[in-house]
């Protein structure tokens, strides 16, 4: 499998809305495998295809302690969200080293396809619910920093641009 390049905020490609997957085939299964390798290598607990410049509705997640319980969501959509909200400290592979509180529904139900193209539903709370909502935001072209104040968004954007220039200068 291959490691994919993760786009860094404020890259405009992170704001593209992902298109539905028409058919779960070998191409999609390879993308999922490469995304999983990339997520585990980072290391992270979730990755949306948008973050690796693939604009299709694919998400991989593993919130297990041992990182050995990969979950795959193809064409995921939230079909129910609890009115109760919960605040979590979030981070993102596309915004490395930045973490902040984001309030989201405490529980959700998601409908998606698995790697065989079979539809399933899953109810989630806790870290899994947060991770699912965070990754599904990516598929809609939204990055978690957009939940923060404009001042924080500008600061993070400036710091990320500076970091990217520094990295480019090292090459």
Residue 166 binned pLDDT confidence (cut-offs 50, 70, 90): confident
Looking at 135, 146, 166, 170, which residue is catalytic?
135
> Is 92 assigned to a binding site?
yes
Instruction: Quote the pLDDT of residue 165.
Output: 87
Instruction: Quote the pLDDT of residue 171.
Output: 58
> Is 138 assigned to a binding site?
yes
User: Can you give the pTM of this predicted structure?
Assistant: 0.95
Average pLDDT over residues 94-111: 96
- The whole-angstrom separation of Cα 50 and Cα 139 is 6
The CATH class, in words, for 12-170 is alpha beta
For 121-148, write each residue's pLDDT tens digit: 999 999 999 999 999 999 999 999 999 9
pLDDT at 163 over 90: no
CB 123 within 8 A of CB 71: no
Domain ranges of the chain: 12-170
Instruction: Quote the pLDDT of residue 49.
Output: 98
Our answer to whether residue 77 is catalytic in this structure is: no
pLDDT at 164 over 90: no
- CA nearest to 161, candidates 3, 5, 12: 12
For CA atoms 147, 42, 19, 156, give the dihedral sign: positive
- Six-digit token pair at 35? 């995304």
For 51-77, write each residue's pLDDT tens digit: 999 999 999 999 999 999 999 999 999
Bridge-based pairing of strands 46-48 and 58-61 is: antiparallel
pLDDT at 44 over 70: yes
- The whole-angstrom separation of Cα 56 and Cα 70 is 19
């Amino acid at each position: 499998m291959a490691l994919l390049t993760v786009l860094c905020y404020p890259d405009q490609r992170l704001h593209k809305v992902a298109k539905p997957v028409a058919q779960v085939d070998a191409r999609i299964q390879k993308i999922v495998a490469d995304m999983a390798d990339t997520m585990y290598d980072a290391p992270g607990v979730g990755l949306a295809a948008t973050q690796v410049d693939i604009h299709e509705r694919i998400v991989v997640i593993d919130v297990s302690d041992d990182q050995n319980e990969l979950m795959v969501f193809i064409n995921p959509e939230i079909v129910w969200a609890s009115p109760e909200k919960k605040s979590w400290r979030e981070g993102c592979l596309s915004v490395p080293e930045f973490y902040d509180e984001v309030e989201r529904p405490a529980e959700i139900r998601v409908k998606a396809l698995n790697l065989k193209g079979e539809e399933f539903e899953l109810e989630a709370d806790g870290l899994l619910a947060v991770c699912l909502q965070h990754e599904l935001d990516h598929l809609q072209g939204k990055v978690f920093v957009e939940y923060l104040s404009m001042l924080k968004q500008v600061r993070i954007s400036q710091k990320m641009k500076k970091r990217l220039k520094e990295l480019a200068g090292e090459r």
